């Protein structure tokens, strides 16, 4: 009887992480091969292995495919207006410093429409975690090119190649003084979950750029029609270098040009909360 069981896979109805996801909403709406599910998996594993109790975790997400993320995690979750999840999270963290506030959203939401919030939140060094899922395109609105589309990449609004340079997000975040800056792909699942765990411990703004496959959006215009095409691209072109020169980590998504990954910046800096308390103390509002 046991031998028969081991020769076949066991058909089950619930997974061991079903306590942290809203299982009645599964299967989720993301396309087959989308990396967002893997990001969700890594985030859930990071929550489960972090020392912070589950009811102290909060997730905020904006608009876009990745905006659905908040709806699938079984913790306090907020789905806010376009481009504003960082602004919302900043406010929440300032009012309730005991919470572990995490923003998971897309590139279009966080650095294109909400670019200013992103810059100023890092400048203030508010103690939130921002996990940016970069799929190089505005996926949900119809595959237009955005601020992270690599130079020359095709999209529905750039059929002959994108004429703009993309953001180099780790350099931007490090230049503004973020205490933790990392970049991983959805293929590097264990490293990504470890980086997320580190980001939750970091005092101050923790930023992880997650390179995600988008076979239906970016891929269909750039000869990567299956999720596996992206994964093979990552397997061939990714280099892990924690001490990389951040001036040279921009992504071109051309075969042969490496995607450099790693935990680039790990440093300590006083957070907005500490500095604000200091001002309050000077003013005599706090003892």
Look at residue 41 and give its three-state secondary structure.
helix
Q: How far is the CB of 27 from other proteins (least distance, A)?
A: 5
Which residue stretches of 27-165 are H helix?
36-49, 69-72, 85-95, 107, 115-124
Contact indicator for 216, 65 with CB cutoff of 8 Å: no
Q: Which of 123, 190, 201, 248 binds other proteins (CB under 8 A)?
A: 190
The span from the CA of 132 to the CA of 249, in Å, is: 16
**Binding residues among 169-188 for other proteins as defined by CB under 8 A:** 186-187
Binding to other proteins by residue 24, rule CB under 8 A? no
Q: Which stretch binds other proteins (CB under 8 A): 195-203, 227-235, 237-245, 267-275?
A: 227-235
Binding to other proteins by residue 27, rule CB under 8 A? yes
Binding to other proteins by residue 64, rule CB under 8 A? no
Q: With residue 105 as reference, give the H or E element that holds it.
A: strand 100-106
Look at residue 31 and give its three-state secondary structure.
coil
Q: Which stretch binds other proteins (CB under 8 A): 40-48, 155-163, 170-178, 271-279?
A: 40-48
Residue with Cβ nearer other proteins (47 or 181): 47
Q: Which of 19, 22, 24, 35 binds other proteins (CB under 8 A)?
A: 35
Q: Which of 40, 70, 200, 214 binds other proteins (CB under 8 A)?
A: 40
Q: Which of 171, 189, 238, 269 binds other proteins (CB under 8 A)?
A: 189
Residue with Cβ nearer other proteins (13 or 247): 13
Contact indicator for 54, 27 with CB cutoff of 8 Å: no
- Token pair listed for 145: 């090119």
CA dihedral 278, 281, 283, 287 (to 10 degrees): 170
- Token pair listed for 187: 């293929």
Q: Which of 64, 139, 179, 227 binds other proteins (CB under 8 A)?
A: 227
Q: How far is the CB of 7 from other proteins (least distance, A)?
A: 5
Q: How far is the CB of 218 from other proteins (least distance, A)?
A: 16
First-to-last C-alpha distance (Å) of the chain: 70
Exposed/middle/buried for residue 32 (C-beta within 10 Å: 0-12, 13-18, 19+):
exposed
Binding to other proteins by residue 14, rule CB under 8 A? yes
Question: C-alpha 23: how far from its chain's center?
Answer: 22
Residue with Cβ nearer other proteins (170 or 215): 215
Residue with Cβ nearer other proteins (28 or 56): 28
Q: Which of 19, 26, 52, 236 binds other proteins (CB under 8 A)?
A: 26
Q: Which of 19, 22, 37, 146 binds other proteins (CB under 8 A)?
A: 37
DSSP bridge pairs for 211: 134, 185
The span from the CA of 30 to the CA of 4, in Å, is: 35
Q: How far is the CB of 86 from other proteins (least distance, A)?
A: 25
The owner of tokens 């601020």 is: 147
Q: Is the dihedral of CA 41, 106, 211, 86 positive or negative?
A: negative
Binding to other proteins by residue 38, rule CB under 8 A? yes
Positions that interact with other proteins (CB under 8 A): 2, 5-18, 21, 26-28, 30-38, 40-42, 45, 186-187, 189-190, 193, 226-228, 231
């Amino acid at each position: 009887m046991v031998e028969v069981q081991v020769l076949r896979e066991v058909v089950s109805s619930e997974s061991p992480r079903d306590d942290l996801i809203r299982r009645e909403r599964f299967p989720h709406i993301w396309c087959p091969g989308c990396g967002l599910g893997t990001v969700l998996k890594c985030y859930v594993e990071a929550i489960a292995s972090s020392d912070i109790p589950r009811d102290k975790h909060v997730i905020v997400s904006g608009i876009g495919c990745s905006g659905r993320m908040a709806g699938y995690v079984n913790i306090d979750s907020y789905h806010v207006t376009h481009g504003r999840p960082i602004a919302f999270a900043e406010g929440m963290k300032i009012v309730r410093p005991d919470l572990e506030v995490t923003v998971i959203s897309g590139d279009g939401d966080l650095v294109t429409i909400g670019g200013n919030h992103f810059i100023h939140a890092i400048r203030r060094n508010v103690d939130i975690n921002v996990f940016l899922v970069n799929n190089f395109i505005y996926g949900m609105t119809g595959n237009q090119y955005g601020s992270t589309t690599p130079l020359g990449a095709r999209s529905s609004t750039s059929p002959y190649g994108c004429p703009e340079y993309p953001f180099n997000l780790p350099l931007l975040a490090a230049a503004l003084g973020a205490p933790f800056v990392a970049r991983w792909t959805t293929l590097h699942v264990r490293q990504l979950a470890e980086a997320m765990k580190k980001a939750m411990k970091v005092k101050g703004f923790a930023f992880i750029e997650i390179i995600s496959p988008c076979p239906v959006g970016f891929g269909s215009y750039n000869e990567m029609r299956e999720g596996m095409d992206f994964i093979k691209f990552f397997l061939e072109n990714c280099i892990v270098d924690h001490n990389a020169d951040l001036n040279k980590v921009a992504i071109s998504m051309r075969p042969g040009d490496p995607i450099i990954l790693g935990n680039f910046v790990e440093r300590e800096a006083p957070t907005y909360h500490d500095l604000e308390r200091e001002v309050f103390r000077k003013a005599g509002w706090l003892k």
